[in-house]
């Protein structure tokens, strides 16, 4: 199976074989890759299945500009939360056979200092998935109150030292670059906690989620995506932290539920018929071999569901 040109230098796709296998039943129709990134998953699907048509969506112009031209690939610069407005346009049918959501940040974005995602590299406080967004990390870090920063860092980063970090940020701002902010965060975290991973990791995650409104975008998408699938169509989602995974799991479970009547009722009165079948009993994790080859795959959690006729 060939890879797209330079795709691995842009982003090494996670659980590639698992994704292509789970989406095999959709491979004679249309599949939407909602997070095109380096195109690794998309081009593996195109190489493996010669009848498939893929729509690649990404907010990042850098990703789309690098994409090779092929008649079976349609590229759309957009936020995947607008998926319901994308189908039925550009020659894309109203219902598709597969949807892929890889929610990770691309290696290119992490490794490019100018994008501002990395606490390891000095760069501007940006963190925007799409450069045309009005809100960047600097506007949040330098304008939010201590209480607002505490809420962001605690909620989106699940950081137990959120209040200390927020107070330190307010005391030392303004910040213009990632390296100075990461140092401030590290100094605010107690020394024992610095021994278990980079002390700025959770705060940077929280700021990135806030800048890009990632969790609300994911909720919106998961609420609408099942209605965009043909019967037998599949959705594959890879999350990278518990906040994302909970949203994905809850959305799948809600659509897979049958009767929700109280158990003491003698007959069903709700009439609820499930139209989704969950295919992964629990989240699938990457193999040890893959994690050794690509440490950034370590936290990946893959879930799959299938649309069924109610």
What structural domains and CATH numbers belong to the chain?
7-102+215-307 (3.40.50.150), 118-212 (1.10.150.170)
Residues contacting 25, CB < 8 A, separation 6+ = 97, 98, 232, 234, 306
- In whole angstroms, what separates CA 54 from the centre of its chain? 18
pLDDT at 310: 66
As a whole number of angstroms, the distance between CA 3 and CA 40 comes to: 7
pLDDT at 131: 80
Estimate the crossing angle of helix 214-224 against helix 201-212, to 10 degrees.
60
Span 44-75, pLDDT tens digits: 999 999 999 999 999 988 878 877 778 999 99
Cα distances from 134 to residues 64, 182, 187, in angstroms, run 20, 23, 30
pLDDT at 1: 36
Estimate the crossing angle of helix 162-172 against helix 178-188, to 10 degrees.
130
Scan for tokens 């998408």, then name that residue. Answer: 221
Cβ neighbours, 10 Å, residue 172: 14
pLDDT at 2: 37
Span 100-133, pLDDT tens digits: 999 988 767 776 777 888 888 889 999 998 887 8
Span 3-41, pLDDT tens digits: 343 444 456 899 999 999 999 999 999 999 999 988 999
pLDDT at 10: 52
Residue 76 backbone dihedrals phi, psi, to 5 degrees: -135, 120
297-304: average pLDDT: 96
What order of strands is seen across the sheet that includes strand 30-33? 73-77, 53-58, 30-33, 96-102, 229-239, 301-307, 276-278
236-259: average pLDDT: 93
Omega of the bond prior to 156 within 30 degrees of 0, cis? no
Span 72-84, pLDDT tens digits: 999 999 999 999 9
Average of per-residue pLDDT values in the chain: 91
As a whole number of angstroms, the distance between CA 104 and CA 299 comes to: 10
- Find the DSSP H helices in the chain: 7-10, 16-22, 40-48, 61-65, 83-86, 107-111, 137-141, 146-157, 162-172, 178-188, 201-212, 214-224, 242-256, 288-293
Span 208-231, pLDDT tens digits: 999 999 999 999 999 999 999 999
Scan for tokens 């939010």, then name that residue. Answer: 144
Residue 33 backbone dihedrals phi, psi, to 5 degrees: -95, 100
Span 158-193, pLDDT tens digits: 999 999 999 999 999 999 999 999 999 999 999 888
């Amino acid at each position: 199976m060939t890879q797209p040109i330079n795709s691995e230098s842009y982003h090494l796709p996670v659980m590639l074989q698992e994704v292509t296998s789970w989406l095999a039943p959709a491979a004679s129709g249309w599949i939407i890759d909602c997070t095109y990134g380096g195109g690794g998953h998309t081009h593996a699907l195109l190489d493996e299945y010669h009848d498939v048509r893929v729509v690649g969506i990404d907010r990042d112009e850098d990703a789309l500009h690098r994409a090779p031209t092929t008649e079976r690939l349609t590229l759309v610069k957009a936020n995947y939360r607008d998926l319901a407005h994308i189908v039925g346009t550009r020659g894309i049918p109203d219902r598709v056979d597969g949807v892929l959501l890889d929610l990770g940040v691309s290696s290119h974005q992490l490794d490019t200092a100018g994008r501002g995602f990395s606490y390891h590299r000095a760069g501007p406080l940006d963190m925007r998935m799409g450069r045309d967004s009005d809100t960047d990390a600097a506007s949040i870090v330098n304008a939010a109150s201590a209480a607002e920063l505490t809420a962001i860092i605690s909620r989106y980063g699940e950081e137990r030292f959120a209040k200390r970090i927020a107070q330190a940020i307010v005391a030392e701002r303004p910040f213009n670059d990632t390296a100075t902010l990461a140092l401030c965060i590290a100094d605010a975290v107690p020394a024992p906690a610095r021994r278990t991973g980079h002390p700025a990791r959770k705060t940077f995650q929280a700021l990135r989620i806030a800048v890009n409104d990632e969790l609300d975008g994911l909720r919106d998408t998961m609420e609408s995506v099942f209605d965009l699938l043909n019967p037998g169509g599949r959705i594959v989602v890879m999350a990278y932290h518990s906040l994302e995974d909970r949203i994905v799991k809850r959305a799948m479970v809600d659509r897979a539920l049958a009767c929700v009547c109280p158990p003491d009722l003698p007959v069903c009165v709700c009439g609820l018929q499930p139209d989704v079948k969950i295919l992964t009993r629990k989240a699938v994790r990457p193999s040890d071999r893959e994690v050794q080859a690509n440490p950034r795959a370590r936290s990946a959690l893959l879930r799959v569901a299938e649309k069924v006729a109610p």
